[in-house]
Amino acid sequence: MSIPKYDELMLPLLLFLGDEREHSLREAVETLASQFKLSEEERKELLPSGIQAKFNNRVGWARTYLKKAGLIEAPVRGKCRITQRGLEVLRNKPEYIDAKLLKQFPEFVEFQTVSRSGDKEVDIDETTQTPEETLENSYLKLRKELAAQLLEIIKACDPGFFERIVVDLLLAMGYGGSRQDAGQVTGKSGDEGIDGVINEDKLGLDVIYIQAKRWKKNVQQSQLREFAGSLEGRKASKGIIITTSDFAAGAKDYVDKIGKKIVLINGEKLAELMIDHHVGVTEIANYTLKKIDFDYFNEE
């Protein structure tokens, strides 16, 4: 038989996880491949990029859709298990599970929308899109999921490695010059964060003070005031606050009103910057979109 589509795998995957135990993606792939009686050739068929097996990729996306809808969860890295919501869906004995069914859950609706540089959000499953729009939205969808996975890993890493992530990102963005002269970015507070300074440019003409922590709760204005006060005490005018969570309401308005230049980077923005500057990610495929060069065919 042909390789099932990812939406055809969602119900079988949820049923497989119905035993309420933790399972790896490899276990799910093996079980579903046997269930669908895939041949060895079908199991080894690769995506056009030649990097990953097509069936493994589709099982992975089925898992992603179920997770985004809250039907399954990842208790530890690399494992997944069914949630109470997932069990409730199975109790209703659905004939199939697809994106339309999952749209009853607000978490999935949020996952199914993307925004472009501050524009209003659009549904990435819109069927009236041109091929170019479909390609762009598919890219945005992949990027959004990659950012979510990246942030999940960042939150689970140890404080020392988080320090390295921040330094690597700032270096990749052009700050500090080299790792040797990047600046004093060392964790000393013992609260799962780092506090330090880094050169704004390769010549070290100015410095930027950094506060970066793996906060679980949103950063409050009181913490912003403390950081601004620290800058004042050092006669500094520039700072960056990096958090794996987010900032409380009114935080941006506060930093816009004070005399210091403080940049706020939340967890979502941190993941996006890491993707843009190739930190902690690797390229698996590169597709170039081309159009006719009419100047080439102009004989005049």
212 occurs within a structural domain? yes
Averaging pLDDT over each range in 48-57, 76-85, 192-201, 289-298, which range is the top one? 76-85
Helix ranges (DSSP H) in the chain: 6-16, 25-35, 40-44, 54-68, 84-91, 99-102, 106-111, 131-156, 159-172, 221-233, 251-257, 267-276, 294-297
pTM: 0.71
283 occurs within a structural domain? no
- Could you tell me which of 144, 133, 20 has the C-alpha nearest to residue 72? 20
Residue 184: the pLDDT is 55
The CATH number for 219's domain is 3.40.1350.10
Residues 248 and 169 in one domain: yes
* pLDDT higher than threshold 50 for residue 193: no
Residues 192 and 88 in one domain: no
Residues 18 and 105 in one domain: yes
Residues 102 and 201 in one domain: no
198 occurs within a structural domain? yes
The CATH number for 95's domain is 1.10.10
Domain count, the chain: 2
Residue 251: the pLDDT is 86
Q: Once rounded to an integer, what is the mean pLDDT over residues 67-74?
A: 95
145 occurs within a structural domain? no
More confidently predicted of 118 and 52: 52
Domain that holds residue 25: 6-111
Residues 212 and 267 in one domain: yes
pLDDT, mean over the chain = 84
Residues 96 and 165 in one domain: no
Residue 292: the pLDDT is 83
